[in-house]
Amino acid sequence: MKNIAIIITKLNGGGAERCASNLSIELSKYYNVFIMPFDNNNITYPYEGELLDINILPANGSFAKLFNIAKRVRKISYYKKKYKIDCTISLLDGPNIVNVLSKSNDKTIISIRNYISKEPMSKMRRFFIEYCNKHADYIIALSNMVKKDLIENYKAPVTNIDTIYNHCDAHLLSNEAKSAINPLEKNNKFKFVTMGRLSNQKGQWHLLRSFKKVANNCSDAELIILGEGELENELKALAKNLDIENKVKFLGFLKNPHNVVKSCQVFVFPSLYEGLGNVLLESLAMEMPIISSDCIAGPKEVLGPNLDLNEVIKNKKLAQYGILVPVCDGEHFNSEDDLTHEENELADSMILMYNDEELRNKYINKSRIRILDFDKDKIISEWKEKIDFMIN
């Protein structure tokens, strides 16, 4: 069998890390897999293959970061030669630059996981992204809009880039949901749920402000927030100032959150930008009706694949597999400001889902169909086809 390496920052916490975990498990059926996380501590995601000890943790400051890159390149270059790696896959900026700079006799595939034009962009970061795009053997974008961004803004060659979505194992998630402990109190409340890091990208403060209107119109509605992050205290303070803290539950990070999601009635995704939105796939797998912002990139490709990707949604749209609402502007508002148009559209969509059981059931049935497009075997076959093409 051929030898495949996977480079990632760590094996816990994020969507890219989860993807690396999944790839290691599935690709190990066809190749000898070597997985190389920069940080081997606190591994919570399962993996298959041989775990190699990189153990070079993040550093602060430009000089320290450059020195870190050099150390990682040296160590991974050694492993590539020692284990005669045929193809190396990397995910995220740091692993991508290390993968390209440590190239030996292997083919390098870098994976871009976010719509990076929405992220902070220093001159150094832009240089490294464009360098990787130019020198990698192939680029995998997480969504078509990510691919478009890389070609138009970051010098990705049109001939060496493709889109491969994340896969989602609906059967596995369903089993995990059954086995997990649900910390929620059993009651007859109508529960909206969201999941993601409590950060600026995810826009949860817009959801809280919108939920104030929902709570005023739907007496038994609750909002469940899964995740942890730097905005946790600010979001809790906002819930208190909005006088909805008794209807909002912050459950933090759960290793297995799927039982909680499954026990709720509607999944809400207020993100400001994404690469794809992996939690949307997981929610489809849990047969959840979904309301999502039409942020760049991902939600429209998941919930409205028949829609024009360049169309900007200005009012709520009942798309094929969920409701899309206009993305909020990302401004931090206090509890006294009037709701923006976008926040009103989000609130009205939540109220619509609350009141319309037929609509919820429609999207539950649609979710069972849509998740098949992200089937594990389908997506892995796309990765395998690309890897085999590169090696041969």
Condensed to tens digits (0 to 9), the pLDDT of residues 182-210 reads 777 778 899 999 999 999 999 999 999 99
Q: What are phi and psi of 167, to 5 degrees?
A: -95, 160
Please tell me whether residues 251 and 133 are part of one structural domain. no
Compute the average pLDDT of residues 80-108.
Answer: 96
pLDDT digits (tens, 9 = 90+) for 265-293: 999 999 999 888 889 999 999 999 999 99
CA–CA separation, 197 and 272 (whole Å): 12
- Span between the terminal Cα atoms of the chain, in Å: 13
205 and 139 share one domain: no
Name 15's Cβ contacts closer than 8 Å, sequence gap at least 6: 113, 166, 275, 276, 278
Domain count of the chain?
2
392 has pLDDT over 90 = no
pTM: 0.86
Per the structure block, which two tokens stand in for 103?
Answer: 């190239």
Residues 6+ apart with CB under 8 A from 241: 334, 335
Residue 131's domain is classified under what CATH number?
Answer: 3.40.50.2000
pLDDT tens digits, one per residue of 351-364? 999 999 999 999 99
> What span, in angstroms and rounded, lies between the C-alpha atoms of 318 and 117?
28
Identify whether residues 138 and 184 lie together within a single domain. Answer: no
Higher pLDDT, 254 or 230: 230
Chain centroid, CA 2 distance in Å: 29
Task: Tell me the per-residue pLDDT of 60-87, one tens digit each, with 9 for 90 and over.
Answer: 888 888 899 999 999 999 999 999 999 9
Mean pLDDT, range 257-270, rounded to an integer: 94
The predicted model gives 310-325 an average pLDDT of 95
On whether both 120 and 213 belong to a single domain, the answer is: no
Asked if residue 270 and residue 205 are part of one domain, the reply reads yes
**Edge-to-edge strands, sheet with 161-163:** 50-51, 32-37, 3-8, 87-91, 107-112, 138-141, 161-163
Looking at the fold, whether 203 and 329 belong to one and the same domain comes out as: yes
Q: Note whether 294 and 360 are same-domain residues.
A: yes
Cβ of 54: how many Cβ atoms within 10 Å? 22
User: In terms of domains, do 86 and 235 share one?
Assistant: no
Distance (Å, whole) CA 125 – CA 378: 33
Average pLDDT, the chain: 93
User: In which band, very low, low, confident or very high, does the pLDDT at 16 lie, cut at 50, 70 and 90?
Assistant: confident
**Residues 382, 356 share a domain:** no
Q: List the domain range (segments joined by +) for residue 17.
A: 3-167+375-391
| Shared-domain flag, residues 387 and 253 | no
Together in a domain, 356 and 312? yes
- Both 360 and 265 in one domain: the answer is yes
pLDDT tens-place string over residues 204-234: 999 999 999 999 999 999 999 999 999 999 9
